[in-house]
Structures are given as C-alpha cells and as structure tokens.
Amino acid sequence: MKDIQSQDFTAALDSVLHGVCEGPTRVPGVVAMVTDRDDDIYSGAAGERRLGDDAMSEDTVFAIFSTTKAIAGTCALQCVEEGLLDLDAPAKAYAPYLGEVQVLEGFDPDGQPRLRAPKTDVTTRQLMLHTAGFGYDFFNEMYKTMAEAHCQPSVVTGTRAAIETPLLFDPGAKWEYGTNIDWVGQVVEGIRGKRLGEVMRERVFNPLDMQDIAFTRTEAMKSRTATIHARGDDGGLTPMDGFALPDHPEVDMGGHGLYGTVPEYMKFIRMWLNDGNGPKGRVLKPETVEWAVQGALVPPQKVTMLPGVIPSLSNNAEFFPGVEKDWSYTFMVNKEEAPTGRPAGAIGWAGLANCFYWIDRAAGVGGYWATQILPFGDPTSFVGYLDFERTVYDAIRNS
C-alpha cells in the first residue's frame, strides 16, 4: 500500500481535513489517519480542540463513544477462543441481571410500562449482533419515554442503572442498535473476574502497545482532550464545556466508554488487518478474525437506518443508504461496494460524537476520522469523512 503514498495523496487528504474546518458550518477540528498492514500512511490534523483554543494535533484525546464496541467485542472473542464463553448459552450465566430482564411491550393508559418475561434467554451471540433487544433512548421512542417519564438514566452517565433496562422485543427477533455491547463487557467481566478496563489493558492494549486509551483519563490525557461541541439549528457550534463521559465510571461501558487518541486506534485497526497479530503478541487467532468479520444476521434481521428521536444527540443516520448491510462480531459489514469505493465485505462503524472508521482486510487498508460534535450524523463531519474515505480509494484505484 506504500505505493499510494505521494505528495498528491497527502495533499488531497489534507484538503479534505482543512475544508471541513472552514466556513459557517465548519467542524471545530478533526484528526484523521490511514494505515496499511505495516504502518500509518497518512496522518493529519486541522482546526482546534475547542473553538478559539488549542490547535488540534495527532495526540489529541477523544471520547471515542461506540468505536469502543469492537474492542469490547475482541475481549469476548478471546473468551470464546479459550473455551470460556459459549456464545449460544444463556448470557445470564456470566451476567446475572440478564436472567431478570423483561420485555417492554408498551405503556398502559396511565403511562406505566407494560412488562413481561422474554420468550427465551438472551445469549451473548445476540448481544454481539445487536439482536438481543436492547436499544438507545436517542434511537428509540420507547426508551426515550422511559428516560423522560420513568427516569431511565442515559448511558453517558456510566451507571449500572443505565444498562439495566428492559428489552424492546424478544431476543433474536430483529436487529436494534443499543446497549448490547455494554452487556458483552459485563459478560467478559463475569468470566475474567476483573473490570473490563483491566481486561482490555492486559489482553488488547499491551499486546498492541496502545497507551493513550482508557475508560479513565490520566491527567496528561485530560490536558489533551478535545471539547464536544453542539451543532445549533443555524449550523453554528457551541462548546459543551460541562459535558463529558465520566472518568472513574461505575461501569466500564464496553459499548461507548473509552477515551483515546487516533494513533492508538490505528494500532487496533492494524491488528485486524494482520489476522489478529500485534507488535507485542497475538490478540486473536487468524481463524477467529476470519469468521468474526463475516456478517451473521439471519433474515429478516438486517441493519437499518438509525432514527434520531432526540435531535440534540442524533440526526437520522445511515451509512450508504440503499446498500445492503450486515452485522458481525462486532462491526457493520457492507454487502455491496459502497459509494466511497469501500468493497463488499469490509467492516467499520462510528461513535456518537461523529467519529468514524473502516477496515478493509482485502486491500489491507483502514482509517479513522475523529471529530467531537453532537448530534450524530453531523452533515459537515459525516460528509467530510466520506470524502476522506473516497479519496483513499481513488488513490488505490489510480496507483
């Protein structure tokens, strides 16, 4: 992949980054990188960590939100490899609350939730595939009602109560994006007898030499953390100085809780490009990597558009509308070539504050785009990311 590196390649990607940091609907700042199987082949930063404040730099720390999920999923896959986790056994064997969870059927005339027992137990496979029945209040009207009328806490609080919520349907009935991977993290904790952050450090971060990534930031990380900004109706940005994922959370949220830098995440992407191998040891077996990246939803289950029911947190959002998409362990898989040039069978996902990544194992290339803006699906950041990815594939085609 080194053959696509050139002054033109770098200049084209720099142009995308600097372009989104200009104009009335600019992003505050962005860090983006591209890697092949061996090393980073592009790294760029533009804009500011906070409007009017320090410049963005490659070592800026981001709340990476749902790009945490693949790391928690990797920890679960390690448990499968060691024979410690049966993906099809009741997950309550590892995380006892899942034996108590009920299904939310709706609300009675007085507004009280109508609950019943699920027809089957939740399994870890269903959790990893987002078919267990858990959702998010910013993507689901019933969870939104539970939050507004029944004090169901937001997941950004990092509390156990935020994930001890009812199911939206019987396990296995359909795909619904939600707190499922937070529960995968709890399964891993039940197996390992340690907090998820400790497991990640020992079994993922150390073998990959990932340092600036954690559920709780060091003082040095705090000093380099980008501020999350709110996009207003007029397109302007307001720093959300009082909003951040909690350090020292009650629960290490496997679905969204990590802080990290883009260079550290690139090391994780390279592990997937290199069949599970890292610079200081193997993280996954090659055969595990091979099956884990395959789409595994069973029709009529399918990846759908994410409806933004809390406009301050998310717009309606979908990768590649009209392109059929599947889900694996735990990534989105596009089943057809995407408009950016991303081929069928590649994997990727995103984080709430408009972080995006992809991993193309066939071509041996992957990338990460990091901004800190709410709501999700920000038009400037998301379109900028798609332009960034498209520019990489244009260079590959022309090399």
**Catalytic residue list:** 66, 69, 177
Helix H or strand E encompassing 356: strand 355-360
**Six-digit token pair at 379?**
């038009």
Of 132, 110, 237, 119, nearest in space to 183 by CA: 132
Q: Are 293 and 60 in contact (CB under 8 A)?
A: no
CA 251 to chain centre: 17
Of 16, 26, 22, 19, nearest in space to 379 by CA: 26
Of 169, 178, 181, nearest in space to 101 by CA: 169
CA distance 17 to 242: 27
The stretches of the chain forming alpha helices (DSSP H) are: 7-20, 69-81, 124-129, 141-150, 180-192, 196-200, 206-208, 219-223, 262-273, 286-292, 379-398
